[in-house]
Amino acid sequence: MTVQKRKRDDEPDFQGFIEGNTIPPHLVEALESMEPGSRWPEPGPPLGSAPESEPEPQPDPSAEYRMDILGRAAHIVTQDRNVAYGPPEQTFERIAAMWAAYLGIDVLLAADVAAMLALMKIARIATNPLHEDSWIDLAGYAACGADVARGLQESLPEQP
C-alpha cells in the first residue's frame, strides 16, 4: 500500500488511502468529493430507515387501572387511616414495641412492621389473588414502609 504524505497536517490525503485499499464505490465517491481539510460527516440513520423521530407512545390499557389502585392506596395512607389511627409512623412504632415484647426480643423497628404487614398481605394474595383490597393495602404498606425507613435513616448518625 502506498500512502502519500500529507501536505499539511490538517489536510488528510484520501487518495493515497483509496489507492491502497479495497473500498466500496460509494465510499470512494464520498471520499473523493470531500474538500481538503474537511471532516467525515457524522453518521446518520441507516440507509432505508425512516427519519429519526420519537416513537409514538402506545396507549397502555392497564395504566389507568394501575393508577387507580395506587390512587386508592394513596388516599388510604394519607387520609382515611391518618384520621382514624394517626400517622403510620406512630402506629408502626407502637406495633413494633408490642411485637418485640410479645416475641421477647430487644428491638423491632417500625420498618420491620411495615415489611411484615406487607408479607401478611402477600400471604393473603397467595390465597386469593383476585381480592383487590389486598393489592391496594400492599401498595399502602410499601409506601408507609418507605416513609418510616426514610425517617429511620434520617435519625441515624452519619457514617464516616
Domain residue spans of the chain: 7-35, 63-154
**Does the predicted TM-score (pTM) go above 0.85?**
no
pLDDT confidence band for 47 (50 / 70 / 90)? low
Mean pLDDT to the nearest integer, 61-89: 90
Q: For 20-62, where are the alpha helices, taking DSSP H only? A: 25-33
What sign results for the dihedral spanned by CA atoms 137, 138, 140, 144? positive
Place of cell 406495633: 95
Confidence bin at 104 (pLDDT 50/70/90) = very high
Burial bucket for residue 111 (CB in 10 Å: 0-12, 13-18, 19+)? buried
Distance CA(118)–CA(59), nearest Å, equals 31
